Amino acid sequence: MSSGGFSVKSRSLRGNNNGGGGGTGTKCGRWNPTVEQLKVLTDLFRAGLRTPTTDQIQKISTELSFYGKIESKNVFYWFQNHKARERQKRRKISIDFDHHHQNDISTQHHLRQPSTRSDVYEINEEEEEEKVIETLQLFPVNNNTLEDSKVEKKMRSKCNNNQFREYIRENNPTILSPYSSCGAEMEHLSPLDLRLSFF
Amino acid sequence: MSSGGFSVKSRSLRGNNNGGGGGTGTKCGRWNPTVEQLKVLTDLFRAGLRTPTTDQIQKISTELSFYGKIESKNVFYWFQNHKARERQKRRKISIDFDHHHQNDISTQHHLRQPSTRSDVYEINEEEEEEKVIETLQLFPVNNNTLEDSKVEKKMRSKCNNNQFREYIRENNPTILSPYSSCGAEMEHLSPLDLRLSFF
DNA sequence: GCAAATTAATGATTTATTCAAG
DNA sequence: CTTGAATAAATCATTAATTTGC
């Protein structure tokens, strides 16, 4: 919050380090996707992938590392950002549209509530459903063609997102948990959101 | 309902799931802090800690595990939530205050911008500075007082939070076995900040 | 006194916003 | 200006307090 006048937390001053010696002369600042990487990511996104599971991220990351240096978090962030910005883009478009079709907004803003975000949503929440991908080729096996490797169909839908919550809860191994009773064999083991993934 | 003022309820009077080892039923639900854990966390917060680094989270978590089952992520989330809710609380108070001192708000809402959240911030952003704690006792050495004893000065300063980033970045095994059937045991000493945590 | 029904707290996730590298 | 990275706000969901009818 706040950049307003208040304490701007300066984010990393960074000492650029990077461990590895990997790549080309990269200074190792932030990740910069290669065109190939970007293409794959974009394709996955277009195919409907929005919030990849931990497994998926791992897999994607591993595969993309072929094209250049990359880490899991980069994949994670990419999807986060891309999803958000696509949404934002669409929203803005419709706002502009509205704007264009009615010059006087004074009739509207009295409806604004002070601080809820709901008003934002109401503007244009067409929220594209996250498609359930039955078969999705994560990577070009040979180079181009799409084969059908199976990928989890763990996508959640907007109206039905509790399901995956429970799923997460149930499947979260939670470390040393001795509580064997919670067990329940899991067939798909990904905790989905990676944020947790490994706690 | 309600409690006007944040009374620390005596939780954990009932049969908790704690237990690491001898767990009884273990519902595997969400973490529920014991009073001791809560006290320590609260004290740390009061001491000025707001956004603990990965190291700090680890350490805190480890220490608190003495009082009962706990994971790193719980510590992380606790700080996130507590910080946010304290802020929220103060904000609400000042709103009520304003309300009380002026009945006509019509003079104000013309300032509202449609959908930015900034207007919310502007209401009362006194944001308490996150203090740089030089010496802070993280845990009661004996059992009672948290008051004065020394501990590491691992706090980050506003301009210097990269420490944990590097840590996170460096620790990225990313080896994960894809289809492990049951095991899927995740690392547990992993990094903490979850957002990245396992990258 | 005691559970079912309600309500308040708060742990856990998701979404929006901000910052700054390139 | 784009976008990777990070933080904060909002939201969801579950557990505990509390109330209520018996």
Residues of A in contact with B16 (CB under 8 A): none
Is A6 at the interface with chain B, CB within 8 A? yes
End-to-end CA distance of chain B: 42
> Hey, which residues does A38 pair with through a beta bridge?
none
pLDDT value at residue B178: 26
Judge whether residue A85 has pLDDT over 70. Answer: yes
Sign of CA dihedral A173, A178, A183, A185: positive
Residue B74: predicted pLDDT: 92
Phi, psi (deg, nearest 5) at residue B176: 15, 120
- Residues of A in Cβ contact (< 8 Å) with B186: 173, 175, 197-199
CB pair distance less than 8 Å for A115 and B118: no
Q: Which residue has the tokens 């992938």?
A: A49
pLDDT band at A180 (very low <50, low <70, confident <90, very high): very low
Highest-confidence segment of A48-57, A81-90, B185-194? A48-57
The gap between B11 CA and D22 C1' (Å) is 28
pLDDT tens-digit readout, A41-63? 888 887 777 777 777 888 888 88
**Cβ–Cβ under 8 Å, residues B59 and B153:** no
Angstroms from A68 CA to nearest CA on chain B: 16
User: Which one, of A9, A117, A1, A8, lies nearest residue B125 by Cα?
Assistant: A1
Collapse the DSSP code of A79 into the 3-class scheme (helix H, G, I; strand E, B; otherwise coil) and give the result: helix
Q: Which structural domains are found in chain B, ordered by start?
A: 35-95 (1.10.10)
The Cα–Cα gap between A190 and A132 comes to 16
CB A68 within 8 Å of CB A104: no
Contacts for A93 with CB less than 8 Å, ≥ 6 apart: none
pLDDT for B40 equals: 94
pLDDT at position A138 = 55
pLDDT greater than 50 at residue B165: no
Average per-residue pLDDT for chain A: 49
* pLDDT band of B29, cuts 50, 70, 90: confident
CB pairs under 8 A between A and B: 135
Q: What angle do CA B150, B155, B161 make, to 5 degrees?
A: 165
Global pTM reads 0.46
Is pLDDT above 80 for A5? no
pLDDT band at B58 (very low <50, low <70, confident <90, very high): confident
A55 touches chain B (CB under 8 A): yes
Is the pLDDT at B95 greater than 60, yes or no? no
Percentage of the residues of chain B whose pLDDT score is greater than 90:
19
pLDDT on residue B132: 56
Q: How far apart are CA A57 and CA A79, in angstroms?
A: 10
CA A65 to chain centre: 18
Q: Which of A6-15, A38-47, B16-25 has the highest mean pLDDT?
A: A38-47
- The pLDDT value given to residue A62: 85
Which pLDDT value is given to residue A51?
Answer: 78
CB atoms within 10 A of CB B138: 23
Q: What is the pLDDT of residue A27?
A: 53
Quick one: DSSP state of residue A129? P
Q: How confident is the model at residue A32 (pLDDT cuts 50, 70, 90)?
A: confident
Q: Round the CA-based radius of gyration of chain A to a whole number and report it.
A: 21
Q: How confident is the model at residue A33 (pLDDT cuts 50, 70, 90)?
A: confident
Does the pLDDT value for residue A84 go beyond 80?
no
Position B33 pLDDT exceeds 90: yes
